[in-house]
A and B are shown apart, each in its own frame.
Chain A
């Protein structure tokens, strides 16, 4: 989800077993751009590398950050090529790209088809529908939300997808970027504190009235669904 000045990306990372590590789904592309993916994560790695390259090259030539709107178009054009060549296959991932440019904070969703859309808030992956329902209720307040409320709403949306399971800091990843704040993933301690602060564990999300505190629907790109092993590409 995003507000005027911040974008929050959140994802659920469930590991296959206790023994294995969680799969990484949120990537830093540049100080001002981050991406969260759902689908064939191998394809995700490749596209992240492409995006990072594009950002670096632009920075080198122009000493300025690549506007996220342009990166998204380049990504979409790259995906489109794969749909028109017989010897290629489409990239098996949906990307939620959050970033800053001159006109503020933006959130985009890129499809394997080569289409891209700008969103106030969105969720992708399996079980993303639950998160989307939550976001649909709250999104109107996101634009003017504060950074803290945006993150809070992201956590609430994540919780919706867990269907009763307990939301703990070990299964989710939250990343934030904003004007004057470089992209970074919040560490486990911070997330743990936030979760208990907002008393999310088993409690209702704040009321719908757009009072400043609760329903700042940040429009971060919500990963919504857990990092599902069997994540079918674009379960939307």
Chain B
């Protein structure tokens, strides 16, 4: 998540002028996004934190957005780049609607468009510093995919970005199955988000869940997860270490 180390070494070699026009390292970042397919469509979860380095600076950042009628997107990484991506997508959907014919862009098309955008930016050494999750339903077909800042993209029944790959995916590999109901899906996602809340230092306890089905998109109001800290080891943390040490 913190890529500050690798970036500065590079920028002396490539494009010395107009460095101020390129993304060198991320500043305000969002952490993991987790997405799963379920019986009626797709569920995405992300917390609402925007970290400024190691400070949990912003706590109401909406990282899940709808795209057209058939897709939702979740982003981790640089928040300002996500806002730029949303501008690209809104324009894409606008032109798609302007055709005013019976056709509309589905999640697969939006995902591929994003892949091309991310890959092209990476080739110009000016990446959009995000990892995106794109999910949707069109004509009964469910679609869930992800794109990274270098253009790596794939689809799967469950995807995650950042720390979600390390902490949430193993849970999903064990517990995901086809035909999860909405309640089961939310419970599974909350389990993943809780683990991330405990273990990812950039996570905040305020999250949203987005659902997309053939009928449309719903993004929940922000809410918090219940956590448990009543472990014996936390009761008297300094027991056995009295003294000035």
Contact = CB atoms under 8 A, between A and B. Distances in A.
A59 B108 CA distance: 12
Interface string A51-79: 00000000011111001011001000000
A220 B102 CA distance: 21
Given A61-B116, A102-B139, A67 B109 contact: no
B102 A61 contact: no
A73 B103 contact: no
B178 interface: no
A62 B113 CA distance: 6
Interface in B86-127: 99, 101-103, 105-106, 108-109, 112-113, 116
B146 to A, nearest CB: 15
Contacts of B116: 60-61
Interface string A106-117: 000000000000
A62 B101 contact: no
Nearest to B117: A61
Interface residues of A, number: 12
Interface in A21-78: 60-64, 67, 69-70, 73
Contacts of A103: 102-103
B112 A67 contact: no
A64 B108 CA distance: 8
A140 interface: no
Contacts of A62: 105, 108-109, 112-113
Contacts of B139: 102
B109 A63 contact: yes
A60 B109 CA distance: 10
A101 B103 contact: yes
B137 to A, nearest CB: 14
19 contacts: A60-B116, A62-B105, A62-B108, A63-B109, A63-B112, A64-B106, A64-B108, A67-B101, A69-B102, A69-B103, A70-B99, A70-B101, A70-B103, A73-B99, A102-B102, A102-B103, A102-B139, A103-B102, A103-B103
Given A62-B112, A63-B109, 18 more contacts: A60-B116, A61-B112, A61-B116, A62-B105, A62-B108, A62-B109, A62-B113, A63-B108, A64-B112, A67-B103, A69-B101, A69-B102, A69-B103, A73-B101, A101-B102, A102-B103, A102-B139, A103-B103
Interface of B: 99, 101-103, 105-106, 108-109, 112-113, 116, 139
Interface of A: 60-64, 67, 69-70, 73, 101-103
